[in-house]
Amino acid sequence: MLFFQNQVKSIAIIILLISFLYADEVVLKNKKIHVGKIISKTNKVIIIKNQAGLIITIDRRNIKRILKRKTPQQEFRERYKSIDKNDQQELKKLAQWASKHKYLSSEYSSVMTRIKTLKYKAAKEIFNNKYHQIDPTNEQQLKELVRWTRKQDNLPKEYKKILFKFNQLQFKNLETTAGKNVEKLYELYAWKKRRNYSGASKEEILSKVLAIDPEHTMARYSLNQRKYNGKWLPEYEVKELKKRDFSVKMREKGFIFYKNEWMKADEIDFIAEVDALKNKLSIEEEKNTQLQTEKIDLSDKISKQESTIQQLSLQVENKNQEHQKQINNIQQEKQDLQNSLVSIEEEKNTLLNNLQRDISNIETQIKKIKKEILNLEISQSIKNRINRIISKTLKDLKRLPK
């Protein structure tokens, strides 16, 4: 089943490639050109898939003409088939042409890879010819081949190989020439130090030098050895011995090692007293600093409290002012009420006086009416009745407030 699926995929890819051997070129009336594959047509529009894979719908009324032309990929294949695959110049021309088309990046990469491969094969063939033509025991010929190989940027493995052989031969020649000559053996050590060659170790060469000349200073120094009391010892041991011997000498002279220095006993006592005074002074300074800090804190607290008191005073003053305003308002209202009462009393008195005057006038008129009624010729019962009404009216008037 998997084999069948793979076959179907392969056939589909081949069909897709064949369908894109030739491209459709749609030229618009505004001179714009769309290149790709027409995937659908109607009476009104044409749908084309361009080389970037975008689907574009074009109105037929805007189309001037439709042409068939080769795709860049097809043109590349035809150019590639027509050239010699081993000719670097032809391949470079094809690569330059492909670099100008943005849809031929993979084809350009494949051509450049082919060029690099041909360059490597050509360089390797020249290297092999040169290598077989030289004498492997001739140091000068190997040196020239090393220089030539180093200039080639595509032969890193061959360069390492020939460089190793050159170093091997040069070391062997230097070792043979040196023999038991101390200075030449030390030069061999210096050569070895400059090159990371995997032959005899640097320590082995220095051992040969010291076997011939045990007092060779440069060889001893190269091994990190120093001479002390007539003996060559490792540098760290010499430092420890010098330190120990110096301590013994200083103690014999009456010195004591105190605070990383050698001093006399009286100097140590004096320094101890000075240190004690310094400690006391530092303690006092710390106390003074602490007191200053406390003083600053107290000042801050006092200033804060004063600020709070000032704010409270302002609040009290504001409240007193508000209360005074309220009292003044109340007093003003009281005065207004008193004035209103006086006015009311005056109006009352005026009204009462007017009422009294009106009552007097009414009594006078009633008495006058009473006299007039007595003079009238009416029955005695009517007169009595009128007299009763008048008497009652007069009584009612007398009940009114005076």
Phi, psi for residue 226 in degrees, rounded to 5: -130, 150
User: Which strand (E) or helix (H) includes residue 358?
Assistant: helix 265-374
93-115 burial, b if ≥16 CB within 10 A, otherwise e?
ebbebbeebeebeebbeebeebb
Cα–Cα distance, 32 to 58 (Å, whole number): 12
Nearest residue to 27 via CA among 56, 70, 67, 72: 67
Between CA 232 and CA 208 the distance in angstroms is 16
Residue 199 has a pLDDT of: 59
Helix (H) or strand (E) holding 45: strand 45-50
* Whether domain 8-70 has CATH 3.30.1360.70: no
What are residue 41's phi and psi, to 5 degrees?
-135, 140
pLDDT in tens, 10-39: 433 333 444 444 578 788 988 888 888 888
Q: How many CB atoms lie within 10 A of CB 27?
A: 15
CB 139 within 8 A of CB 173: yes
Place of tokens 């000042």: 299
- CB count within 10 Å of CB 36 equals 21
196 compared with 260, residue with greater pLDDT: 260
Q: Say how far residue 326 (Cα) sits from the centre of its chain.
A: 64
Q: Write phi, then psi, for 358 (nearest 5 degrees).
A: -65, -40
pLDDT over 60 (residue 402): no
> Collapsing DSSP states into helix, strand and coil, what is residue 311?
helix
Q: What's residue 377's pLDDT?
A: 64
Q: Which of 34, 5, 38, 6 is nearest to 19 (CA)?
A: 38
Q: Confirm if 29 and 62 have CB atoms less than 8 A apart.
A: yes
Q: Which residue has the higher pLDDT, 50 or 241?
A: 241
Alpha-carbon span 198 to 204, nearest angstrom: 12
Can you state the angle between helices 88-99 and 72-82, rounded to 10 degrees?
170
What's the confidence (pLDDT) of residue 9? Answer: 43
**Range with top average pLDDT, 50-54, 109-113, 149-153, 164-168:** 109-113
pLDDT of residue 144: 92
Q: What is the pLDDT of residue 22?
A: 55
Q: Name the E strands within 275-334.
A: none
Residue linked to tokens 């009114």? 400
Give the model's pLDDT for residue 4. Answer: 34
pTM of the model: 0.43
